[in-house]
Structure 1
């Protein structure tokens, strides 16, 4: 049998068109994939470079956003590549959307921590090295990532605070400002000279060079207690000197009171004998 009678010219033409069409689709898909990868890589590098140059964008946040944009672009590229091969992308996008929704619901708590981590890194309510109080925990900030904040307490305990809890509560940053006010309450006996005691306090604290001269040391009588006259004292200092000044002042004022004959009252009982 003659082979030419088995394959007609129309069949050969149709097969040729299919081969050419398939080859064209493969070439276009490859071109889309290559160009898409190049664009995604260039955008990721650009975002990272912008994050490094910006003082308001943390490096961790820049890396997160650059990766997020990269994978978003690659997802669009893959959908375009599949479309070149005749794959129905509408149903694929719907399936991906449903899967994303299901994953989001399953990881609701984790995603809330992620969102809070982005907000913390972007707005910077605290930074590495700051002494803070967040979610009822106090300590120095050792690490901030997209999900948790790591604190080190004064006795060197490691505390991990979920960013969702940190961002959703009151944040007190003791290191945010360069200066802090130190408050004291010194008690003296009712029989002591108030003006003399206030001068002793002022002179004792004024001898500490770490205490700022402007504003000046403030002293005033704040209360008449059950057994004492209470004198409030306020001084300003650099934030890093707060606890050193506090501890030294408590010791130095006590010694100065003793040297000046000023007594610090303490709870005691006095027996009074009545003569009828």
Structure 2
């Protein structure tokens, strides 16, 4: 029972002596644990950087190790303060269930992110199309995937919208689908040789796989030539514009006609 005659100063001194060293020790332990977590994380990050591991997996491993060290430090701090660990852990478990129910969407993104990271349906630098969007993969994290759109905008897709959907992965190169029409009286062998020469001279067209060039369709007014070379993802738009321009210019020099649609109109006299 507290003596009512004790002065406030004596009470403060008594509490400082009784709990001050514990609080100071807890602060020291917490600060040391944070430093150790950072130090271990840097060592693991340096070691993983020399391994053939995807960047998202590296970040995940480093964060998980740091989090484990911090949690162990917090347990030691709480124990040093004289707090019973068992009720504390039980309270954390109950709180965790409530937080999990409140953050179902976030947790589903995390689970989907882990699935993407470890199954690797696509990687950073590849061009993909899914959920009505397409672009080059710039970042994969636990919550979302960021795509760079051809118009230089960014598309951020929650990971839960990706897992289970149909995914079209173009990889690091794309195939152009060019079409050009020539007249029916054109020397096809010479014309196809000219197109192949244009593709060989282009700095955008990849040497492997070999470009596909041939007759794609017999149209009503022209023979449609299908030109399908492969280019890098970043060169898609520029290569398409350059090749079309070069084909038109070289056809004009070689006097290869690109016919326009025509219609024959017969006038029938009125009865």
Shift of 1:120: 5.1
The 1-side partners of 2:54 and 2:42 are apart by: 10
State the partner residue of 1:14.
none
Q: Deviations over 1:234-259 (max 9, x none)?
A: 33444443332221111111222233
Structure 1: unaligned runs, 5 residues or longer: 1-22
C-alpha change, 1:156 and 1:28, in structure 2 (3 Å) is closer
Larger C-alpha radius of gyration, 1 or 2?
A: 1
C-alpha change, 1:230 and 1:211, in structure 2 (3 Å) is same
State the partner residue of 2:190.
196
2:176 is paired with a residue whose SS is strand
The reply to whether residue 95 of structure 1 matches residue 91 of structure 2 is yes
Shift of 1:154: 3.3
Whether the 8 Å contact between 2:41 and 2:66 is mirrored in structure 1 is no
Q: Deviations over 1:1-47 (max 9, x none)?
A: xxxxxxxxxxxxxxxxxxxxxx8x99899879866874675355223
2:229 is paired with a residue whose SS is strand
Q: TM-score, normalised by structure 2?
A: 0.68
Q: TM-score, normalised by structure 1?
A: 0.67
The 1-side partners of 2:235 and 2:153 are apart by: 22
C-alpha change, 1:194 and 1:273, in structure 2 (3 Å) is farther
The 2-side partners of 1:90 and 1:210 are apart by: 65
RMSD (Å), alpha carbons: 4.0
Whether the 8 Å contact between 2:40 and 2:66 is mirrored in structure 1 is no
C-alpha change, 1:65 and 1:213, in structure 2 (3 Å) is closer
Whether the 8 Å contact between 2:134 and 2:147 is mirrored in structure 1 is yes
The 1-side partners of 2:27 and 2:43 are apart by: 24
Number of residue pairs the alignment of both structures matches: 246
Structure 2: unaligned runs, 5 residues or longer: 1-17
Equivalent of residue 126 in structure 1, options 119, 123, 127: 123
2:123 is paired with a residue whose SS is coil
1:54 is paired with a residue whose SS is helix
